[in-house]
Structure 1
Amino acid sequence: MKEKTNYGNWVPEKALYMLFGVAVIFGVIAVAVQVILMEPLIEIAAGIICILTFAMAVYMLICHETFAFGKGNMMAGVHEHLVDHLDWDGEGKLLDIGCGAAALTVRCANAFPKAQITAMDYWGAEWNYAKEQCEKNAKIEGVADRISFQKGDAAKMDFPDEAFDATVSNFVFHEVRTAKDKRDVVKEALRVVKKGGVFSFQDMFSQKTLYGDMNEFVDILRAEGVSEVHYIGNLEKKLDFIPRFVTTPWMISGMGIIYGKK
């Protein structure tokens, strides 16, 4: 029996356990207060918190199942959309910035069987991903011989200028804590793309608090020498495979893609 891959989920299972646990705790408190203390105000407050937390836990569980590979497959759809906007023949080197558990990396390896792929991530204890997990997933998928994984900071990568023929990144740039201005992370990603090379990046580009006016930013990138840049904003409202119930401010809001040729 083939070993299963583990690509994680945008809704970590730890968060689900925590939410359901909090709901249970406040439910017990509400019952205990009613039976022992008979304090209606405390009982009502604890009951309300229990109900609200349980409702959020159920909502997050539904989102978890919607995102999951092999179930709702929404994350797979997001990756497919990104790769579909990478106009590349697959000859040469590709970099996946912020590879997480290597789901996008493996998709790229399958889409471009002649490519040599480098995948980097900061990983870290706060994320539900690890380098060993990436290597295991790549091995299970049969593409480990064409992928190398390394730790790195997307704000300042240890690669020379124009090192790659193609670069991709998915929902990473806004998470880079070492860069105050998230536009700088985009520019750093473009720095390592060869002149004439291609790129496809998805992130919360339509959130002005993160990126400001994206049309203005696109003009800046063109002025700095990027020959072809396209931007599509608010993808969560345009892609059929993204259900309306996940397009909340705390889940997916302001999703966008920039792609083109340097």
Structure 2
Amino acid sequence: MTNRDEQPLRTDPAEYAAAEFELQSTGQADYGNCVPSRLMRVLFILCGVLLLVFALLLIVWAHASALIVVGLLCALVIAFTVYMELCRRLFAFDGGGLMGAMHQMVVDNLDWDGRGRLLDIGCGAAALTARCAMTFPDGEFTGIDDWGATRSRAKEQCEANARAEGITAPTSFVEGDAAHLDFPDGSFDAAVSNFVFHEVRSEPDKRALVREALRVVRPGGAFSFQDLFAQPRLYGDMTAFVQELRAEGVSDIEYIPHTENLVGAPSWVRTPWMIRNAGILHGHR
């Protein structure tokens, strides 16, 4: 990483909690949220419907058993909705900033001099791409994602976010599948990815996705991938996997488990359905 001696890796959760991340400093970039707004709309509507049903039962048909069942269901849905809203606010780039902190973990563990080409695999709305471009202004950046039916709108959003952040480095965004990256071997000097591999449906073998990501990094190039690596059902024994990659020619690789703890994520968000069992694979190809 550029100026690593002057900017040592953060190792204390308090350092991440107190860090002033510059992303969205203009207030104009829109990176969305890993808790989708459409999900919250559905939950709020469901809460309203259940409350209405409960009120109607109470007025029209005060049957004890029905009131208990609907009341319990209503309480559960409201509690879950409140929980998800708190998660959404915690993850928000312009709110709690937890996802920004997770992105910074990826960048902090990318040992790259910032010269050459970087690929962001699963770039989404370009939040991590933008962070890399702001950290390494002399590089050239490509974000790739499988946006599906929203391809045109999603690409325009990525480009708009790059402009909003004032990024001047060459930056481009293309549609593609992380399981089959449409680039020759060794096309990039660096590669990053954040919580993408476990979401790729076209490849059930998540280890194969890591190998595909490494394929497009040149020998000696840097990489930093964050995913749910500590989930055995997805990746198996990570110690054994790291040894396999070394045997396959990855010159330098390190695994950091449970990165959610390193950024000081509260216990109520370190759950199997949120960010529990995160980890980073980083090093040089």
Measured against the shorter chain, the TM-score band is over 0.9
1:241 alignment counterpart = 264
For 1:20 and 1:193, the matched residues in 2 are separated by 44
What amino acid sits opposite 1:150 in the alignment?
A: V
Q: CA deviation at 1:37?
A: 2.2
Q: CA deviation at 1:131?
A: 1.3
* Alpha-carbon distance change, 220 to 126 in structure 1, aligned in 2, over 3 angstroms: farther
Unaligned runs of 5+ in 1: none
2:240 alignment counterpart = 216
- TM-score w.r.t. length of structure 1: 0.95
* Alpha-carbon distance change, 136 to 144 in structure 1, aligned in 2, over 3 angstroms: farther
For 2:197 and 2:45, the matched residues in 1 are separated by 32
For 1:134 and 1:99, the matched residues in 2 are separated by 9
1:168 alignment counterpart = 192
For 2:197 and 2:191, the matched residues in 1 are separated by 13
Equivalences for 1:183-202 in 2 at 5 Å? 183-202=207-226
What amino acid sits opposite 1:156 in the alignment?
A: H
2:276 alignment counterpart = 253
Q: CA deviation at 1:144?
A: 5.7
The count of residues paired between Structure 1 and Structure 2 equals: 259
Give SS of 1:178's match. Answer: coil
Tell me which stretches of 4 or more aligned residues in structure 1 moved more than 4 Å: none
What amino acid sits opposite 2:205 in the alignment?
A: D
| Contact in 1 for aligned 2:143/2:173 (Cα 8 Å) | yes
| Contact in 1 for aligned 2:117/2:189 (Cα 8 Å) | yes
Q: CA deviation at 1:30?
A: 1.2
| Contact in 2 for aligned 1:29/1:43 (Cα 8 Å) | no
Identity %: 51
> Whose relative contact order is higher, 1 or 2, with alpha carbons under 8 Å and at least 6 apart?
2
For 1:3 and 1:74, the matched residues in 2 are separated by 17
For 2:60 and 2:228, the matched residues in 1 are separated by 49
1:64 alignment counterpart = 88
Q: Which shows bigger deviation, 20-29 or 177-186? A: 20-29
Equivalences for 1:75-224 in 2 at 5 Å? 75-125=99-149, 130-143=154-167, 146-224=170-248
Q: CA deviation at 1:16?
A: 1.1
| Contact in 2 for aligned 1:203/1:255 (Cα 8 Å) | yes
TM-align CA RMSD: 1.5
Give SS of 1:95's match. Answer: strand
For 1:154 and 1:239, the matched residues in 2 are separated by 27
In the TM superposition, what whole-angstrom CA distance separates every residue of 1:228-248 from its partner, at most 9, and x where no partner exists? 110011222x31431221101
For 1:71 and 1:226, the matched residues in 2 are separated by 38
For 2:31 and 2:160, the matched residues in 1 are separated by 10
For 2:141 and 2:250, the matched residues in 1 are separated by 23
Q: CA deviation at 1:19?
A: 1.2
What amino acid sits opposite 1:239 in the alignment?
A: L
For 1:22 and 1:182, the matched residues in 2 are separated by 35
| Contact in 2 for aligned 1:23/1:49 (Cα 8 Å) | no
2:98 alignment counterpart = 74
Q: CA deviation at 1:125?
A: 4.9
What amino acid sits opposite 2:38 in the alignment?
A: K
Unaligned runs of 5+ in 2: 1-25
For 1:81 and 1:247, the matched residues in 2 are separated by 16
What amino acid sits opposite 1:258 in the alignment?
A: L
In the TM superposition, what whole-angstrom CA distance separates every residue of 1:30-70 from its partner, at most 9, and x where no partner exists? 11112112222122111111111111111111111111112
